[in-house]
């Protein structure tokens, strides 16, 4: 269970030229560890997650998930890889309004063709792990912002991913709820041995990460929390 990004360059079309969103980026995330990515708006943090998730194909460089290079995979194989090995938590909890918390998770298993009854058990177990056992039957409008974000995280874990990619999970939350979500992510990373990458603006919690890197204009530099 690991994620390796090797010499990734990503450009977007920009007028007559190209905008370099990622400039020869390298990142090695071992199982059970959490790397925080910080940096200014527009520096390339979300682009990095999109490449790691195989949602965006870079101009050059390698993405290696669990030791396997994703380069040769076609769209269907990449979709299967995302479904089975990669958990993605977007900034906005994009939950379906009509489904209960448990059903939000069960949908994931449905997509990957798992048994309905197993899925229900797993959904309840994960909701319990994120502290929402009592809220399993609630719909998004009956949950707080922090609770919705925890459902979002639990959903990303539904298919037992090797790689967990999380984009600004605390930006909509107050300090205390943000800290609780980060605690949860640190705990889940250890317990489930995921290779976790977390984009965050929340510099207060960086000492709890295994490593912090800084993105500046598409370039990644090491930035130990202590020096910030
Ligand atoms: N689909 C796209 N097409 C063209 N340019 C893009 C696209 N997505 C992002 N960009 C540009 O690439 C650069 C990096 O964007 P990215 O979303 O990765 O930044 P970010 O660090 O996540 O910013 P923020 O903190 O605001 O979320 C920005 O200059 C952005 O305008
Ligand atoms: Mg972003």
Measure the CA–CA gap between 74 and 57, rounded to whole angstroms: 11
Asked whether 47 lines ligand 1 (CB < 6 A), one says: yes
**Can you give the pLDDT of all 228 residues of the chain as single tens digits?**
799 999 999 999 999 999 999 999 999 999 999 999 999 999 999 999 999 999 999 999 999 999 999 998 999 999 999 989 999 998 777 899 999 999 999 988 766 666 667 889 999 999 998 899 999 999 999 999 889 989 999 999 988 899 999 998 877 777 777 788 888 889 989 999 999 999 988 777 788 889 999 999 999 998 754 444
What is the model's pLDDT at position 197?
A: 97
What is the model's pLDDT at position 99?
A: 95
Residues with CB under 5 A from ligand 2 (ion): 45-46
What is the model's pLDDT at position 227?
A: 45
Q: Using DSSP, state whether 85 is helix, strand or coil.
A: helix
Q: Given ligand 1 and candidates 10, 43, 50, 219, which is best to mutate, with the most ligand atoms within 8 Å of its CB? A: 43
Which of the following CATH numbers is that of domain 3-222: 3.40.50.300, 3.20.20.70, 2.40.10.220, 3.40.630.10?
Answer: 3.40.50.300
Q: Which candidate, 158, 160, 131, places its Cα nearest to that of 143?
A: 131
What is the model's pLDDT at position 228?
A: 45
Asked whether 203 lines ligand 1 (CB < 6 A), one says: no
What is the model's pLDDT at position 94?
A: 84
**Strands 195-199 and 163-167: what pairing?**
parallel
Asked whether 200 lines ligand 1 (CB < 6 A), one says: no
- The single-letter DSSP state of residue 108 is H
Place of tokens 């058990």: 121
* Closest ligand 1 atom number to CA of residue 39: 21
What is the model's pLDDT at position 113?
A: 66
Q: Where are the domains of the chain?
A: 3-222
- Read off the pTM: 0.90
What is the model's pLDDT at position 129?
A: 87
Dihedrals φ, ψ of 90, to 5°? -80, 165
Asked whether 15 lines ligand 1 (CB < 6 A), one says: no
Evaluate whether 207 touches 34 at the Cβ level (below 8 Å): no
């Amino acid at each position: 269970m690991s994620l390796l990004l090797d010499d990734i360059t990503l450009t977007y079309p920009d007028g007559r030229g190209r905008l370099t969103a990622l400039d020869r980026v390298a990142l090695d995330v071992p199982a059970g560890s959490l790397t925080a990515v910080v940096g200014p708006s527009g520096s390339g943090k979300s682009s990095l997650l999109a490449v790691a998730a195989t949602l965006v194909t870079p101009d050059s460089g390698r993405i290696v998930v669990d030791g396997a290079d994703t380069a040769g995979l076609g769209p269907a194989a990449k979709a299967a890889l995302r479904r089975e090995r990669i958990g993605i938590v977007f900034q906005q909890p994009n939950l379906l309004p009509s489904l209960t918390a448990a059903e939000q998770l069960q949908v994931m298993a449905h997509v990957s063709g798992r048994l309905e009854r197993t899925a229900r058990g797993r959904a309840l177990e994960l909701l319990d792990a994120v502290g929402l056992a009592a809220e399993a039957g609630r719909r998004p409008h009956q949950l707080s912002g922090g609770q919705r974000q925890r459902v979002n995280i639990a959903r990303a874990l539904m298919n037992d991913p090797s790689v967990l990619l999380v984009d600004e999970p605390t930006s909509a939350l107050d300090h205390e709820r943000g800290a609780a979500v980060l605690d949860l992510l640190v705990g889940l990373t250890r317990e489930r041995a995921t290779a976790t990458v977390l984009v965050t603006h929340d510099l207060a919690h960086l000492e709890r990460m295994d490593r912090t890197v800084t993105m500046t204009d598409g370039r990644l530099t090491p930035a130990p929390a202590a020096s910030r």
